[in-house]
Chains A and B, each alone.
Chain A
Amino acid sequence: MCVTCGCGSDQNHVEGETHAHEHTHADGTTHAHPHGHEQEHGHDHALGAAHAQGTAPSRRVQIEQDILAKNDAIAGANRQRLADRGIFALNLVSSPGSGKTTLLVKTIEALQGRIQAAVIEGDQQTSRDADRIRATGAPAIQINTGKGCHLDADMVRRALDRLDPADGSLLLVENVGNLVCPAAFDLGEAHKVVILSVTEGEDKPLKYPDMFHAADLLLINKTDLLPYVDFDVDAAIGYARRVRPDIEVMRVSATTGEGFEGWLAWLERGVNAARARRDASVESLRRRVAELEAALGRSA
């Protein structure tokens, strides 16, 4: 990680963002940021001093902090920011090839005219997925994680700065295709939605339990292919409920639109609830301001 500019992993990059390792001077010249090295030397000296002292007594101090504390703090700030704007945010997770991007494209098209959607796309490389989303007319931004295997809250924070989704809209975050690593990282979403396609094994919920445990909704996708594959839908749902007894399940086909009514209705309920919560908090703030103003008026 670059300790000078605090850019996180050297490899991840939010589309449209100037790379953190370059900076531009007032005269317009841009050059590579000599990141981290001065700081590292500083550490070397500190370490040298410790060695020189040699006999310094050591002591134990309590830290008592979750390893993910920093990520979770940023995720909490993202969540607050989204709530303040009445935005319903979902973190879509799955293996590569489950049909996430096609599902998103079809969802955005079906919601057109009713709900505005914006997308944050996570992939190791290329902006191919964001390009597919933008072709629908919805705003999208690509995060390339480079060597990273998951999105983290800070990448989403930076993407939100650029994307600036509309108040009361639906934000779909398509995580890196990976059923392991994204499970641990809260991005500030309302729900994780896990997508399992019928061309995969129905025992994936048992093989990758952390992800199915973290998700609130399971979408079983590509149901139009069920006649051609050996996939036991009931078994898959049963396995998912072993790791997450209260997980909601919907069967959909992004290709034929089968099962989409239920999925779109679920999205609409979420968006309406996020808008209502925002309106209620704005309303309660207004009332509080009016009360304080009245109190000030009395004391004046």
Chain B
Amino acid sequence: MHEMSLAEGMLQLVEDGARRNAASGVKAVWLEIGALSQVEVDALRFCFDAVTRGSIAEGARLEIVTQPGLAWCMPCGARVPIARRGEGCPRCGSYQLQVVQGDEMRITEIEIA
């Protein structure tokens, strides 16, 4: 379950951000998670709760914004939506796809006190 490592990475970024802004507590963390990224959101929530215990981010709310998957289809020469990797272009069925959105795993903002 690599979500534990991801949650540890998140906590470090949150702690760094809180320190830079001289925060006394972190109330919420905004995440952008792509539909094609390598993260299971429920597992990440569970792990984030576990790793933040006793930290400045204990009890912080996790606000997750999901980015839909988008790919550039070479034969169509167009951007097409894709739900998961290994799926063909919804227009022409080709697998010559270059993902252009949906593989992100980012912290965008934190709400601090």
User: Complex Cα distance A35/B21, Å?
Assistant: 26
The answer to whether B106 and A209 have CB atoms under 8 Å apart is: no
Partner of B95, one of A43, A58, A66, A242: A242
Looking across the interface, which residue of chain B has its beta carbon closest to that of A213?
B85
Select one of A44, A60, A65, A213 contacting B106, CB under 8 A: A65
**Cα-based distance from A43 to B56 in the complex (angstroms):** 6
B13→A67 contact, CB < 8 A: yes
Q: Does B80 reach chain A (CB closer than 8 Å)?
A: no
Q: Nearest Cβ in chain A — how far from B111, in angstroms?
A: 5
Do A65 and B13 touch across chains, with their CB atoms under 8 A apart? yes
Most chain B CB neighbours (cut-off 10 Å) among A63, A185, A245? A63
Residues of B within 8 A of A51 (CB): 25
Query: B62 interface residue, CB < 8 Å from A?
Result: no
- Chain B, range 23-55, C-beta contacts under 8 Å to A: 24-25, 27, 30-31, 38-39, 51, 54-55
Tell me which residues across on chain A come within 8 A of B110, comparing CB atoms: 60-61, 63
Contact of B5 among A152, A206, A210, A241 (CB under 8 A): A152
A205 to B87 alpha-carbon distance, docked (Å)? 12
- Are A67 and B107 closer than 8 Å at their CB atoms? yes
In the complex, residue of chain B having the shortest beta-carbon distance to the beta carbon of A57: B113
A267 CB within 8 Å of chain B: no
Q: Is the CB of B105 within 8 A of A68?
A: yes
Does B78 have its Cβ within 8 Å of any Cβ on chain A? no
Are the C-beta atoms of A68 and B6 separated by less than 8 Å? yes
Measured CB to CB, the nearest residue on chain A to B52 is A43
Report how far A209 CA is from B69 CA in the complex, Å.
Answer: 14
Residues of A27-81 at the interface with B, using a CB-CB cut-off of 8 Å, are 40, 43-44, 46-47, 49-51, 53, 56-71
Can you list 17 residue pairs at the A/B interface with Cβ under 8 Å?
A9-B8, A43-B58, A63-B13, A63-B107, A63-B109, A65-B13, A65-B107, A67-B31, A69-B9, A69-B13, A70-B13, A71-B9, A209-B86, A210-B38, A210-B85, A241-B95, A243-B86
B interface residues with partner A (beta carbon < 8 Å): 1-2, 5-6, 8-10, 12-14, 17, 21, 24-25, 27, 30-31, 38-39, 51, 54-56, 58, 84-88, 95-97, 104-113
Interface residue ranges, A against B (CB under 8 Å): 1, 8-9, 40, 43-44, 46-47, 49-51, 53, 56-71, 148-150, 152, 180-181, 183-185, 205-206, 209-210, 213, 239, 241-243, 245
Known contacts A60-B109, A184-B38; 20 further A-B pairs (Cβ under 8 A): A1-B51, A43-B55, A43-B58, A46-B25, A50-B113, A57-B113, A58-B112, A59-B111, A61-B110, A62-B108, A64-B106, A66-B106, A67-B39, A69-B9, A180-B38, A184-B6, A205-B86, A209-B85, A242-B86, A243-B86
